[in-house]
Structure 1
Amino acid sequence: MLDQILNLVKQYGQQSVVENPDVPNEYNNQVMAEAANTITSGFQNMASGGGLQNILSLFTGGGQQQGSGGILNNPMVSMMIGHLASRLVSKMNLNPATANNVASNLIPNVISSLVNRTASNAPEDSGFNLNGLIGSLTGGGAAADGFDFQGLLNQVSGQQPGGAGIDIGQIISQVTQNAQAHQQSQQSGGLANLISGFFK
């Protein structure tokens, strides 16, 4: 799922970064790497902080509240925009208006596309899967002991009949523990190196 996020950043970064005259060309790849890092670490911090429900609500409510307005009202997305803008100012010396402009375009477009394509049943979107996303946040292919998050998403979006008896509290606790362990194992900068390698 990390590949899909990186590709979306590259796709939407073409207009908001590469073709943006306010972003010096030598910073294009760094800006996109920083955006990808902000999105992946934002999801990871949310998962390891017990915020699985916030992630799920983004994916279950995101499709209906589309347009930048709905996504922009999500606190997790706002946090990512603020984080990216401040990193662009501090690391690349972009002027604050440009940094805000880039972050406010890039992050909502990537998240919005990620949400829509994960909820889609189209064959070309088969790589976008909530199980894959949560698995990548927790360090395993399967998130909470094989729980089917994509199935849950399909139930909520009405694409599949509902299943009773889901103990969401237990699932959140399991994902939180797995995400914390995975985050600690990555402190050496493995994820950041992988992302910056992609944008070379």
Structure 2
Amino acid sequence: MFEQLLSLVKENAGNDIINNNAIPNERNDEAVETATQSISETFQNAIQGGNVNEVMQLFNNGGGNTSSLALTQNMQGNLIERLMQKFGLSNAQAGGIASSLIPMVLSKLTHKTNDPNDGSFDLSSILSHFGGGNFDVGSVLSQFGLGNNNNNASDNKGGGLGDVLGGLFGK
């Protein structure tokens, strides 16, 4: 899962990291990995901390504007802190990167997860990976009305994950 997420961040890091003069070119890979770790750890903390609703709100969004979500803001704060520490960036520089890159990556991630023609990410795998070994994905998916036939974007029975989650969150 980390490698898939790393690839997604790398695909979207162009202007924010790769073409950013504040980050030396020889450290671009390190900056991309730092952004990926920020996203991963925030997902992990949310799921393992019992804030699955925050994660489900993100995936209900279907790739739309993710900037206002608490989970997105937590990821941005995490990344800002790391960029300042590791790369000596100012708060404004790090904030500019985080406020552009994180919502873009999350939008692409949720779009891919909700797209029945794209099997690169699915909600069940994301919850399982970031939930840890003792996390009961089936139980969580059941709480949100997602049975065995509706637990990921690649299994699009009954209208798909976006439709199920949209009904749950009143959209």
Answer yes or no: same fold by TM over 0.5.
yes
Q: 2:114 aligns with which of 119, 123, 127?
A: 119
2:56 is paired with a residue of what secondary structure?
Answer: helix
Say what the alpha-carbon RMSD is for the aligned residues. 2.6
Aligned pairs for 1:185-200 (under 5 A) are none
Aligned pairs for 1:79-118 (under 5 A) are 79-118=74-113
Report if the CA contact (8 A) 1:81-1:104 is conserved.
yes
- C-alpha displacement at 1:155, in angstroms? 5.4
**CA distance 1:100–1:147, change in 2 (3 Å):** closer
Aligned pairs for 1:23-62 (under 5 A) are 23-60=23-60, 62=61
TM value normalised by structure 1: 0.68
- C-alpha displacement at 1:42, in angstroms? 0.2
Report if the CA contact (8 A) 2:48-2:132 is conserved.
no
Report if the CA contact (8 A) 1:77-1:107 is conserved.
yes
Q: Distance in 1 between matches of 2:73 and 2:150?
A: 27
Aligned pairs for 1:149-164 (under 5 A) are 151=150, 157-158=162-163
2:20 is paired with a residue of what secondary structure?
Answer: coil
- C-alpha displacement at 1:156, in angstroms? 5.6
Q: Distance in 1 between matches of 2:59 and 2:138?
A: 20
Aligned to 1:180: none
Residue type matched to 2:43 in 1? F
Q: Deviations over 1:115-150 (max 9, x none)?
A: 11100011xx2121001101111345x943576558
Report if the CA contact (8 A) 1:2-1:133 is conserved.
no
Aligned pairs for 1:59-70 (under 5 A) are 59-60=59-60, 62-63=61-62, 66=64, 70=65
- Tell me if 1:13 matches 2:13: yes
Q: Distance in 2 between matches of 1:103 and 1:131?
A: 26
More contact order relative to length (CA 8 Å, sep ≥ 6): 1
**CA distance 1:32–1:156, change in 2 (3 Å):** closer
1:59 is paired with a residue of what secondary structure?
Answer: helix
Aligned to 1:74: 69
TM value normalised by structure 2: 0.78
Report if the CA contact (8 A) 1:12-1:110 is conserved.
yes
**CA distance 1:104–1:147, change in 2 (3 Å):** closer
Alignment gaps of 5+ in structure 2: 153-158
- C-alpha displacement at 1:21, in angstroms? 2.0
Residue type matched to 1:117 in 2? K
**CA distance 1:126–1:58, change in 2 (3 Å):** same
Aligned pairs for 1:155-194 (under 5 A) are 157-158=162-163
Q: Distance in 2 between matches of 1:72 and 1:44?
A: 19
